[in-house]
Amino acid sequence: MEAAVLSTEAISRIIGCKSTVPLTPQEMACSLRVAFYPAVNTSETLEKFLAILRVILIRAGVNVISYDEALSEGNNSRVRKGIVLIAPGEGEPGNLAIDHVASLTDNTVVGVYCGAMPGMGESRFQNRVDVLVSALVWHMVQVIIYVDDESWTICTMNGGIDTFSLAQLEARALDSLIPKLAAPVVPPQMSDFAVQKDAFEPSVPNYQISVHDMLAGSVLWGESGLLASQTRLDELTYRNHKYKRIAAAYLSSRTGMSYGFLSRQLPLAVTPAIELDYAHQMLRRIDWEQKDFIEIDDQMLVAAKLGDKRFVLRVPEVTVLCTRSGCDKARLDPSKDLVTLTLSKGRVMLGLAKGLPEGSDCQPSFDTLIILAHAVGNAILASILAKIKPCSKFALALKHQGLAITHWHGFIDATSLPEGYYLHGNNNPPVSCSTAQAAIYGLRGKLAALQKSIADGKEYLGDAHIEPSHGTNMCGRSIKDLARLVTGISHFCSAGFSN
């Protein structure tokens, strides 16, 4: 196995992670603290499942504590932040698990219910999404597990739906459930970003190529059926107005949810990397084997290892034009459905369109971090390619037109990709693309794809990043081209049909 192009520490620093991120199922298990919420009106089937699940979690390394202990560590009769609550049964309004957590974003509530998931027979992704979101807000949970006599189904906010046989409970708890609990879907809040109003005008020449591609591409993606349209939160059924307010607060006042994203990385001045053997003496003196990144004058330099060579480059600021959270991706309105996302020195900035009315729903995508991870990865690859292959089509495209980055809830295989495109991620733990883990996997996989293309002597043109149980991120020259490529060869997420 070849050495990593960049260390996990360097990748984490590039995307702005401020703490260690568990990346393997075993590490994720050890990072978890779980308590079981007192059961209400459960069945024998459910009680048996929960008893087995508790033993399996403990055996995997999860710190399972009592509900009383979880409460005692918190304040005001609420479970301490960071603890996952597994809550069986329908529960009663006013006494649901969500009523007893310290934080909507720092506590994950898992609802466990008897029977098969409603709508399992739905063939359209849109129908499955509508059923799933309706169930999540009715039960006020972030993850749902349905259990019957033969199987169990895990459903998450990111649209992932996986069904396994009960005979596979222990194996699948480790490689599927634990990653979903350790890397939960957390909607980005506006307060997480530096927000700049009147940051761009979609109609000005600098944005015309990107906006035109996004509008034309959105039509093709809409026709493909691979993107779900908005599920409006005010049209869903809640147990009472209190829970409707909680859902709105959790989603940072978003008016709805939709799945997938379309984005264009804006053109970037690509500076060729420097081969270390020919770099300035000061750079050659650094022990890059010990640590493959440094910060000089508020700039981050990395030394990417490819084969027996290292290439030193500055990590540049990158900006993408992206669909906002919850908009209808198939019917974009550039004046209100687009935002800019900028990653600069590990910090994310959100730009709003000029003239956007005050109070408009213009929230950043759930997938902001993975979008920017792919964008900065593209920039790093382009810098290296500009050095080793000055006529690189990929580097020239980023420099002159920018690149497309899309996400949809379906999968493709390597044999379906054109020459020059590389697939990665199939063996990663199944986490949402809203998580730090997904961003690290995506950037790490992209760098490995470049390494493979060089080893194979083939030109690198783009990549497809598979997120198991979730979907695919793909980078290429245009959203239209990616839509044409994907239509007909992609298959939907395997909702209800896992082994």
User: Is residue 341 located within the same domain as residue 215?
Assistant: yes
Last residue of a domain, one of 142, 165, 182: 182
The pLDDT > 90 percentage for the chain reads 65
Let me know: does 15 contact 372? Beta carbons within 8 Å: yes
pLDDT confidence of residue 415: 87
The answer to the question of residue 498 being in a domain is no
Closest CA to 476 of 465, 491, 489, 488: 465
pLDDT digits 0-9 by tens, 37-55: 998 778 888 999 999 999 9
The answer to the question of residue 329 being in a domain is yes
pLDDT digits 0-9 by tens, 54-65: 999 999 999 999
| Whole-number Å distance between alpha carbons of 56 and 34 | 12
User: Is residue 224 located within the same domain as residue 157?
Assistant: no
Closest CA to 406 of 279, 178, 224: 224
User: Is residue 384 located within the same domain as residue 454?
Assistant: yes
Last residue of a domain, one of 129, 154, 182: 182
User: Is residue 404 located within the same domain as residue 334?
Assistant: yes
Q: Which residue has the tokens 């005010």?
A: 234
pLDDT confidence of residue 160: 83
The answer to the question of residue 459 being in a domain is yes
3-state secondary structure of 86: strand
User: Is residue 236 located within the same domain as residue 113?
Assistant: no
Q: Is the dihedral of CA 296, 301, 305, 306 positive or negative?
A: negative
CATH at 339: 3.40.225
pLDDT confidence of residue 64: 98
- Domain span at residue 106 reads 32-182
The answer to the question of residue 24 being in a domain is no
User: Is residue 273 located within the same domain as residue 346?
Assistant: yes
Last residue of a domain, one of 156, 182, 208: 182
What's the number of domains the chain is made of? Answer: 2
User: Is residue 134 located within the same domain as residue 223?
Assistant: no
| Whole-number Å distance between alpha carbons of 302 and 222 | 39
pLDDT digits 0-9 by tens, 224-247: 777 766 677 788 889 999 999 888
Structure tokens at 481: 């081209």
Structure tokens at 383: 């810098």
The answer to the question of residue 176 being in a domain is yes
The mean pLDDT of 123-146, rounded to a whole number, is 85
pLDDT band at 258 (very low <50, low <70, confident <90, very high): low
User: Is residue 83 located within the same domain as residue 220?
Assistant: no
User: Is residue 106 located within the same domain as residue 241?
Assistant: no
Q: What is the DSSP string of 322-370?
A: EEPTT--TTS--TTTSEEEEEEETTEEEEEEETTPPTT---PPPTTHHH
The answer to the question of residue 325 being in a domain is yes
| Whole-number Å distance between alpha carbons of 442 and 428 | 10
User: Is residue 327 located within the same domain as residue 278?
Assistant: yes
